[in-house]
Chains A and B, each alone.
Chain A
């Protein structure tokens, strides 16, 4: 059973921590698809974001194969974005007509890397996330993680090595047990 399969099973049994983890794992992807792939304006984007997780929460029991969680969430997100556009409630986005396929493909690849990140130790995860995804400067990272500022760049480089190894070798054992 993949990590997602196990996660789905835990969610189905009412495990709140598992639901938190599911939201944490997919919220960035869902957000990016809505805002960058479909370019929905903020109010519509927030509604669709909540609808996606609501639908996932309500229909998780109907998902036959827990391992299909990722493509299912992607499909639900895209469908709800298209519905929103079709409803014509999004005046800014309705002229765009189609999602940006190139962006959607890029986001799928980004999710691969994001899931790989979960397999790294917490320190590396924090470092890479803060620097690349949260765009925090070295000084802030050094303060927050209690690191000498002069070592931040080299640590980031080493963590990138580890992540690349995981991605290349396909050794993604999933995140450590929570």
Chain B
């Protein structure tokens, strides 16, 4: 916590609490589910047939583990498969 020299009033605390409403639920869920991508990469490393299928259709591979095929995820999966 950064140091503040003043004593915050109720009003100020309330104002600061209101500054951080929740992010959209779907965005947060997608971030929570990122570890699911590990399972794709691990399985692809062990199973050549699965890997070929994933490389052919990244979107389907993500959807299969419950991830939305958003562009950043597709890029990352492509990158990780290349490196694995």
Q: Is the Cβ of B35 less than 8 Å from the Cβ of A28?
A: no
- A164 touches B (CB below 8 Å): yes
Distance A53 CA – B26 CA, assembled complex (angstroms): 14
Task: Given A46-B70, A132-B18, A133-B21, answer yes or no on A54-B34 (Cβ-Cβ < 8 Å).
Answer: yes
Asked if A90 is at the interface (CB within 8 A of a chain B CB), the reply is: no
Q: Are A28 and B17 in contact (CB under 8 A)?
A: no
Q: Are A28 and B20 neighbours in the complex by a CB distance under 8 Å?
A: yes
Are A47 and B31 in touch, CB under 8 angstroms?
no
What 10 A-B pairs are tightest by C-beta distance, nearest first?
A: A31-B23, A110-B19, A132-B17, A53-B31, A28-B20, A113-B16, A110-B16, A51-B72, A27-B23, A50-B72
Query: Besides the contacts A28-B23, A53-B31, what 4 more A-B pairs have beta carbons closer than 8 Å?
Result: A27-B31, A114-B17, A135-B18, A170-B3
* Number of interface residues, chain A, beta carbon within 8 A: 48
Interface pair B31/A113, CB less than 8 Å apart: no
Tell whether A20 pairs with B32 under 8 Å between CB atoms, given A108-B2, A163-B13, A164-B8: yes
A30 within 8 A of partner (CB): yes
A27 to B26 CA separation, bound complex (whole angstroms): 12
Instruction: Report the Cα distance A112→B13, complex, angstroms.
Output: 10
In the bound complex, what is the Cα–Cα distance between A23 and B30 (angstroms)? 10
Bitwise, A121-162 to B at CB < 8 A (1) or not (0) is: 000000011001111000000000000000000000100110
Q: Across the interface, do A32 and B19 meet the contact criterion of CB distance under 8 Å? A: yes
Contacts A23-B28, A116-B1 given; indicate if A160 touches B20 (C-beta within 8 A).
no
| Size class of the contact patch on chain B | 20 to 34
Question: In the complex the two chains form, is A168's CB within 8 Å of B7's CB?
Answer: yes
Chain A residue nearest to B22 in the complex (CB): A28
Please indicate the chain A residues that have their CB under 8 angstroms from the CB of B27 in the complex.
27, 31, 46, 49-50
B71: chain A residues at CB < 8 Å are: 47
* B35 in contact with A113 (CB, 8 Å): no
Is A76 in contact with chain B by the CB < 8 A criterion? no
> A28: which B residues are within 8 A, CB to CB?
20-23
B10 at the interface (CB under 8 A from A): yes
CA–CA, A58 and B71, complex, Å: 16
> Would you list which residues of chain A between 100 and 117 have a CB under 8 Å from chain B?
106-117
Set of chain A residues within 8 Å of B14, measured between Cβ atoms: 132, 160
Of all chain B residues, the one with the shortest Cβ separation from A168 is: B7
**Contact: B72 with A109, CB < 8 Å?**
no
